[in-house]
Chain A
Amino acid sequence: MNCEQCQELIQELIDGSISQRDEFTLNTHLKDCLDCESVRQDLTSILSFCETHRGEYEAPPNEQALWLRIRNVIEAENAPYLVPQTGSLQPSFFKRLMGQTWELSFPQLASLTAAIVLLVSLTTVVGLRRWGGTTEVSHAAPVVQVSNVNDRIFQRRQVINYWNQRVEVNKARWSPEMRETFDRNMRVIDEAVANSLNDLNRNPHDEVSEQMLNESLNDKLALLKEFSDL
């Protein structure tokens, strides 16, 4: 009997479930092996202490909560092993990649280094061309801004066209004086729109021209709406 078999039988001995034959063999070994005898004595001492002091321990406050916390900790620790239920149990690509041993020959290593250098160079050149020059940035911004202004003007003109059509339908009912008044005022507003637009075309960054353009377009829209009721 070796020590490993002996320690398994010690458990059975303490439990009282050991056979007579095993008990004889175990006792024979224990007489010769001081280590195993020491293990038997330790276990017997622990058991006898527990039996003697059974019921004397103090329950922790809120015992149920303590057990729940322990259970949560255990479940959390086991969670990574439960997740693969939906997929394969194989480790991820990254883990396999990192866990792999790389053995490269000198030509392979040289090729890999050259490829990395080439990739970094290309990325740098493309990056500098796209974002590097301050002059190009300053030219790009106005294009976007002008485009936005033009979009806004286009949208506003669509609305103006709609109301213009409504006015044209009703215009026949107006008196000649009212028609003249409307046309005269529309010309004045159109002139204001044109002037603001010219100023804005000359200087796309001009805040005042943009404000005046917006206001004149709003005025035109308001005039059309108010006269469409007549």
Chain B
Amino acid sequence: MRRKFIPGRGPVRASFLTITTLLTLISLSTAVAVNAQQQMSKRYPGGKNVRIELRNISGLIVVESWNKNEIRLTATIESKNAHVVPRQVNDCLMVDVMGDNRGRGDVGDINFKLQVPVNSSVDVETRRGDIRVSNIRSGLVRAHVSSEGDIELSNISATHVVAQNVIGNIFFDGEFSSGGTYEFKSTKGDITIRVPGNSAFRLVAASPTRQIKLNDFWNDGFKSQDGRKVVGDVGDGRSSVSVTNFSGQITFLRK
């Protein structure tokens, strides 16, 4: 009996086998990659004046408050070569990824999540990556991205706030405390500031591309230099706000 010849049946079988093999390899490599990531989770006692200092190289940093008088640090470490050695001195928790990994070459991304008491001072920086800080009421919130990464500061009430990056957006949602200083700076990105309508501050905003929108906070007392720099008081100008943007929009919104 002659066997029927079915055109293309051989190549179909070969393709099926190839795809199956590839899928198996991909899933295996993904599993290996997942296993290669390290997870770190530690808790530290929080005192009255908690201060967080974090120096990262690359990766996401999330800082948020919780209703416990302790600090919880969670880190996802991409590379096995990376060292993360948190140190607590009195009420200050320091994580210096830069210092701990000097000379080790590329250590990949390290993503941090810090849960801290609400009155903690927060000073975080990274060479690249996003920073998100939320629900903090303290003396200092500083978020510095050396190169590119978005900065999001939500529900912040601090007397000294600094947010700076080169490429990326900056968003601040909070309030300006009396006598406080607030500095926002981006080379290429939008800066959006959302504060209560009754905020009182002295503003110096500069944008060479003339994209400064004060909306409800504009008043006739403001002095504008060709639309590129705006200086003036809102209310009695109790706090000092400086916003600089080289290529992007500066927007003030009312809560």
A residues with CB within 8 A of B: 173-175, 178, 181-182, 184-185, 188-189, 191-192, 195-196, 199, 207-209, 211-212, 215-216, 219, 222-223, 226-227, 229-230
Contacts and interface: CB of A to CB of B under 8 A. Distances in A.
A189 B102 CA distance: 26
Contact of A212 (B108, B127, B167, B208): B208
Nearest to A188: B188
Nearest to B128: A181
B201 interface: no
12 contacts: A175-B108, A184-B148, A185-B167, A191-B247, A192-B247, A208-B225, A212-B246, A215-B244, A216-B187, A229-B102, A230-B57, A230-B127
Ranked 4 nearest A-B pairs via Cβ:
A175-B106, A185-B147, A192-B246, A226-B146
A223 B147 contact: yes
A169 B28 CA distance: 38
A189 B187 contact: yes
A216 B188 CA distance: 11
B194 interface: no
Contact of A227 (B106, B127, B188, B246): B127
Nearest to B166: A185
Nearest to A229: B98
A195 B127 CA distance: 25
Contacts of A192: 187-188, 246-247
Contacts of B187: 185, 188-189, 192, 216, 219
Interface centre among A184, A223, A230 (most CB of B within 10 A): A230
Contacts, number: 72
A188 B146 CA distance: 13
A188 B189 CA distance: 11
Given A175-B108, A208-B225, A216-B246, A189 B98 contact: no
Contacts of B229: 207-208, 211
Interface centre among A185, A196, A199, A227 (most CB of B within 10 A): A185
A53 B246 CA distance: 101
Nearest to B228: A208
Interface of B: 57-58, 98, 102, 105-106, 108, 127-128, 146-148, 166-167, 185, 187-188, 206, 208, 225-226, 228-229, 244, 246-247
B102 A181 contact: no
Contact of B106 (A174, A185, A208): A174
Contacts of A181: 127-128, 147-148
Nearest to A177: B58
B167 A188 contact: yes
B106 A173 contact: yes
A209 B167 contact: no
Contact of B208 (A189, A196, A207, A219): A196
A154 B28 CA distance: 56
B194 to A, nearest CB: 24
Contact of B206 (A184, A212, A219, A226): A212
A134 to B, nearest CB: 26
B206 A182 contact: no
B167 A184 contact: yes
Contact of A208 (B148, B188, B208): B208
A109 to B, nearest CB: 65
Given A178-B128, A182-B147, A199-B208, A219 B57 contact: no
Contacts of B167: 184-185, 188
B246 A208 contact: no
A77 B58 CA distance: 84
Given A184-B167, A222-B146, A227-B146, A178 B206 contact: no
A208 B147 contact: no
Contacts of B57: 230
Nearest to A211: B206
Contacts of B247: 188, 191-192
A196 B228 CA distance: 12
A189 to B, nearest CB: 6
A95 to B, nearest CB: 63
A131 to B, nearest CB: 32
B102 to A, nearest CB: 7
B143 to A, nearest CB: 15
A184 to B, nearest CB: 7
